Chains A and B, each alone.
Chain A
Amino acid sequence: MAESTDCHKAQQDCPKVLILKPIPFINLVGEQYFASNKFTFLEAYDSSLPLHQFLSTHSPSIKAILSSVGAPPITADILHLLPEVGLVVTTSVGLNQVDLLECRRRGIKVANAGSIFSDDVADFAVGLLIDVLRKVSASDGYVRKGLWATKGDYPLGSKLGGKRIGIVGLGNIGFAVAKRLEAFRCSISYNSRKRKPHVSYPFYESVCELAANCDVLVICCELTDQTHHMINKEVLSALGKEGVIVNIGRGAIIHEKEMVQCLVQGEIAGAGLDVFENEPDVPLELFAMDNVVLSPHVAVFTPESFLDLRDLVVGNLEAFFSNKPLLSKFGDW
């Protein structure tokens, strides 16, 4: 009979994968779909111990961390308490919640969500944009309140075709957004850290210059020190009174207070926002506006994306614990 590789049956305890805060995605898919014979989850939030004490107690068995958006960041402090950790897996593409420098210094491997979300996020960005320009949510509400029969036709929207789209961050997601909007007869240009070779879209050195030459800005980049509050009053003024902004990146890429002011004063025409600086708080001024479409950070929330993510998360963890190459490794260490 072959020796079992199921850690649950082995003499030693299963290696633990630390989770700091409940991960909605795991609940929505179903915890049973994350069961593995190579590891077991350790939920820090279930304990009554203060976090530092909990981590110190369990540190010998914590070999990996599963990090998600909205959970406590994986800081150098936390990593110092966990000398046995060899891997951080995130459920997001973005890694702004992980101290990458410390991971590199310690040789802790990092795996993110790769490109599995690109389609869903790009679809959502296009959906938000059409909604803002064509007032889909606003006029849907108008119909539901019975106003079409009593107050007449809803005010006109704005045509998507022919609009100049500025993609901020031409990664997998930005590229997927561009390909879709081209089919709507939009023209595409972009700003990125560097010009992309083999890409025919016009490149702008600065996001301000991009905004000045576009009708719509779609934020598809990562949140980093450089992109924090990158979209500010200056950029929005350059975008102009007919301009629309769509954000499916991270809330803090936009200077939220300044964006709200621009919307209040009519300095830009509208916004489609899936992310905010301080989720789940949303600036109250936005609730009164019908030229704004809001969503609760759900651009990846489809069963298809979640099942793909489940495969990737479990796949990365099992690969790590079997000494095999990670499926979606980030970084060169």
Chain B
Amino acid sequence: MNHQPTPQTGKEKNPNLKKISGIKMESIGVLMTCPMHKYLEQQLETHFNLFKLWHCNSSITEFLKTHQGNTIRAVVGDTNIGADAELIASFPNLEIVASYSVGLDKIDLRKCEEKGIRVANTPDVLTDDVADLAIGLILGVLRRICASDEYVRIGKWKDADFGLATKFSGKSVGIVGLGRIGTAIAKRAEAFGCSISYFSRSQKPFANYKFYSNIIDLATSCQILIVACALTEETRHIINREVIDALGPKGILINIGRGAHVDETELVSALLEGRLGGAGLDVYENEPEVPEELLGLGNVVLQPHVGSDTVETSDAMADLVISNLKAHFSNKPLLTPVI
């Protein structure tokens, strides 16, 4: 999702307040919604007047008991806690929401647009890592790498043969959402000789892959289905029982999007009943809760939402958040604006 930046509307803010000569940036109140990354926290503390919502039990109500709501001019949120209508309403001087994520599903974009609040995210810097993990999940599931590591560690190698896995090279890959991340996944899968097809809101003119306007047709045609789209009202539970059945008992589902993309109950029963061959999941409907039934399965790989969790990318995302905030409060264009 990539909105074009719109001019500020609604409540007129006094532009003089933003000039560096008037107010020092270190006094600008920034609310961080939850612990995300120590380096980001340190940078925010250095450059701004940082408030940490988790010191008030992550409750806005509690925060407002001891802090003035109009102190906060910026919010830094992430995939756990963003900026919903309640938060936005609580901070009348809120000017910008800088998300430590590329996904915007935790931000009430309509409210932000209505109130003239800028929104920035962290696209591009995390594309490689998320795409790498998608391939890592495919190999983990198909080649049973995680299972084989466990097998060796518990001493089973001496007793029995591990058995066969499934080849990855040359398999058919279907991508739901051919954005930055979907395209990066496609490029990598191509290096393994995979055929690529995709489902998207609209056909991409630059993409040399087969387009399906119907996700069931995509699932029927491919063996590995990868969810890489943004979470919106339209894409919630886009992977439902029908899609899972179309993917079939030899099919693998990989989710590096959002947990809510997949009807988790249907996914679990399909795996337990053998109607789906396997799954590689980085996201879940109710993180950090993971359906208990999955914990004992050998044909799934479970990751704790680590798509962009490398030292390099976490730092790069943090730098981008800081740069967007500094740009805004210096009256300069945002580097990665959404609104």
Contacts and interface: CB of A to CB of B under 8 A. Distances in A.
A123 B145 contact: no
Given A161-B128, A303-B166, A304-B167, A180 B191 contact: yes
22 contacts: A24-B161, A28-B161, A28-B164, A123-B168, A124-B139, A130-B132, A133-B310, A137-B145, A141-B150, A143-B295, A154-B306, A156-B311, A159-B132, A160-B128, A182-B191, A184-B188, A295-B145, A295-B151, A298-B144, A301-B162, A303-B167, A305-B167
Interface in A98-146: 119-120, 122-124, 126-128, 130-131, 133-137, 139-144, 146
B309 A157 contact: yes
B74 interface: no
A294 interface: yes
B138 to A, nearest CB: 8
A149 interface: yes
Contacts of B163: 28, 301
Interface of A: 24, 27-28, 119-120, 122-124, 126-128, 130-131, 133-137, 139-144, 146, 148-149, 153-154, 156-162, 179-180, 182-185, 279-282, 287, 293-296, 298, 301-306
Contacts of A153: 304-306, 309
B319 to A, nearest CB: 14
Contacts of A287: 153
B81 interface: no
Contact of B148 (A133, A160, A279, A298): A298
Given A131-B140, A184-B188, 9 more contacts: A126-B139, A130-B135, A135-B306, A136-B146, A144-B296, A156-B310, A161-B128, A183-B191, A296-B152
A128 to B, nearest CB: 7
B152 A295 contact: yes
Contacts of A306: 164
Interface of A is mostly: helix
Contacts of B161: 24, 27-28
A282 B136 contact: no
A136 B145 contact: yes
Interface string B164-192: 11111110000000000000000110111
Contacts of B193: 119
Contact of B140 (A24, A140, A144, A154): A140
A331 B193 CA distance: 30
B191 A295 contact: no
Contacts of A156: 309-311, 314
A276 B265 CA distance: 42
B302 A143 contact: yes
Interface string B17-45: 00000000000000000000000000000
Given A144-B295, A180-B192, A295-B152, A128 B145 contact: yes
Contact of A119 (B146, B166, B167): B167
B289 interface: yes
B143 interface: yes
A140 B302 contact: yes
Contact of A127 (B128, B140, B164, B187): B140
B158 interface: yes
Interface string B288-311: 111000011000011111100111
A123 to B, nearest CB: 5
A132 B131 CA distance: 16
Nearest to B127: A161
Given A153-B304, A184-B128, A294-B149, A143 B169 contact: no
B80 to A, nearest CB: 10
